[in-house]
Structure 1
């Protein structure tokens, strides 16, 4: 599907597919050139998009920042999908920019570890636009909260390998996710992990252009963002990946800050106080002068994970390098010896399944929105 095919219905009057609807009024649009209006033929009012009426809503599985999500059946293919209704509450000039960005990016992606946007479907009202996404049975945040037995190290390796493969694909296609966290990682009942929620994602180029630093959920936010660095690189996703790996290993969030200053303090307690020697340019970061960092000369990662192998310690330290330029890339981390030593990563199809969690809020992020747990919200 081309982007113009997605945008065509945004200029029409659409419906939410929430049940039987009356025949819509004739659609009249203002002319872009000249004055007056023109009437859109009934056969063309949906553009090239399918109607949401072609999907049977089975149940509502979540609601978050960017929209409501339904589990639905495609009546043409009989496939079970996640149907995400785009939230249009305060929009006067069309679709939200976050949804447009998500659509634009996801239509370009085809990777087993990236959530799939199959198509955009519409109805009869302007505020009713739906994204048809591949259905996943659960999200990682809810699993971590509800699991009786934590993931084993072999299972953790399986999960993080898939995350790194997804990140490598994104970064090779010049996309930074900018909101990587456990609630934005989905898992199918076949153990396939998918990165979701691309509302904050951006393409990047060289040299990097300034972007707002107020991105990435606080617990997963890299130190350069906390200290006001204007430019962003793929290294902010890699810091978040390190936080996710540590959270899976420790069975709890690694850096659960309650404010930005608290977050910085937790990072310093864990990794030591940054300086110009280990992070050239650190002292010139915009917000450094606003904080008084505690004097802490030691890296305490080894004390935090005393049972972790040397290869595992090296991988965590690589992901938690203060200097973004020295931080490990997804490709670097995929080559880590940690994944080649025992316990070896289990195969995705051997990952445990959690049928008792299905169709509850654990599936709320199937279309890439935040889970209702709001873990580490910004």
Structure 2
């Protein structure tokens, strides 16, 4: 049997019940927390109705050690609004002392009665503990005049990848796509090695700085996972980037859901448009079958045991037509893909999550060794800054 098709093994570093983990307080100091406290942050999403928020802004300081000793947001000058997401607004700000530019994400609190939302607590707690060049870095957490206003101060990147794709005049070259994909896989491998699922990878959640460095951002849906796996919330992941096991109602899922999203992003960088554009979950699955072929029990054991599999009439498409979605003319509206690139994309978009390639294995794929090799990030083409106010 091809070793790449064998059931994969999980990382050896498995969390233990009494294991001590480390996180970082808002002023950058390390602090130890016990596993049961850490588990509070990775509590089964399905129970959020019974513990929806950390209550009352008047007691947030006691209940959230990460906020202890935080500086005031007044240390930053707010320059312009960048965007508003599901879990908070983002501003461009300047450190008054150093003049350095940062992104300030205001954590959305619905109201004082409901208190600090669990999604925001997870995002803060996960991000302050991560350190990787391709994961957005949180410098500190700052507060307003009272704890009703809480901000994450993050490194600033000049470009939103979705806006870059929408506005670029020429497609990325093969070497540039390889560089971006290599960086994305490196960041995802780091997250998975540290037992973090992002659960919403898409081009609009990727940033690019003026040095060509890609940053994974927006961890509002991220969560810690453990072995053995537990049932997690559905739906997660934006529809166009959502893995087939999620669409078919899998109650437990693995880091393979992030890998599927990476495959979709890889195709989008080459085509400058999304690969699967369904308006509903059924249509999304149909788009997959049309391009990748219709799955069956032979290539995906356990397919028909998924909750929604028997509710859908599968349109039979026996052939994989993925290669037809790419142009051989590199100067056209799309960038071509080599046979090795297509092989890697198919491994990222493998139906069976147990056979889907892992991030670290993908980094070792021969696609990155063929000519042209990944361009150095500093040599990436440049773009007008998309996150700066036009006024």
TM-score range, shorter chain: 0.7 to 0.9
Moved more, 316-325 or 296-305: 296-305
Name 1:225's counterpart in structure 2.
246
Note closer, same or farther for the CA distance 1:339–1:89 as it changes in structure 2 (3 Å cut). Answer: same
Indicate conservation of the 8 Å contact 2:26/2:141, yes or no: no
The higher relative CO (CA closer than 8 Å, separation ≥ 6) is in 1
- Using the alignment, how far apart are the partners of 1:203 and 1:29 within structure 2? 25
Query: Which of 68, 78, 100 lines up with 1:79 in the alignment?
Result: 100
- Using the alignment, how far apart are the partners of 2:385 and 2:202 within structure 1? 23
Note closer, same or farther for the CA distance 1:294–1:360 as it changes in structure 2 (3 Å cut). Answer: farther
Offset at residue 264 of structure 1 (A): 0.4
Name 1:214's counterpart in structure 2.
235
2:338 corresponds to 1:309: yes
2:357 corresponds to 1:336: no
Indicate conservation of the 8 Å contact 2:344/2:365, yes or no: yes
Name 2:79's counterpart in structure 1.
58
Moved beyond 6 Å, runs of 4+: 10-13
Give the TM-score, by structure 2 length. 0.80
Name 2:256's counterpart in structure 1.
235
Q: Higher Cα Rg: structure 1 or 2? A: 1
Unmatched runs of 5 consecutive residues or more in structure 1: 14-27, 33-45, 362-378
Q: How does 1:342-357 map to 2 (within 5 A)?
A: 342-355=371-384, 357=386
Moved more, 352-361 or 281-290: 352-361
Unmatched runs of 5 consecutive residues or more in structure 2: 1-22, 29-53, 329-336
- Using the alignment, how far apart are the partners of 1:234 and 1:66 within structure 2? 22
Indicate conservation of the 8 Å contact 1:222/1:240, yes or no: yes
Indicate conservation of the 8 Å contact 1:12/1:126, yes or no: no
Query: Which of 350, 372, 375 lines up with 1:321 in the alignment?
Result: 350
Indicate conservation of the 8 Å contact 1:119/1:131, yes or no: yes
Q: What is the aligned residue count?
A: 330
Give the TM-score, by structure 1 length. 0.83
Name 2:43's counterpart in structure 1.
none
Indicate conservation of the 8 Å contact 1:213/1:226, yes or no: no
Indicate conservation of the 8 Å contact 2:26/2:68, yes or no: no
Query: Which of 283, 298, 303 lines up with 2:304 in the alignment?
Result: 283
| Cα RMSD (Å) | 2.2
Note closer, same or farther for the CA distance 1:184–1:29 as it changes in structure 2 (3 Å cut). Answer: closer
Offset at residue 355 of structure 1 (A): 2.7
Name 1:368's counterpart in structure 2.
none
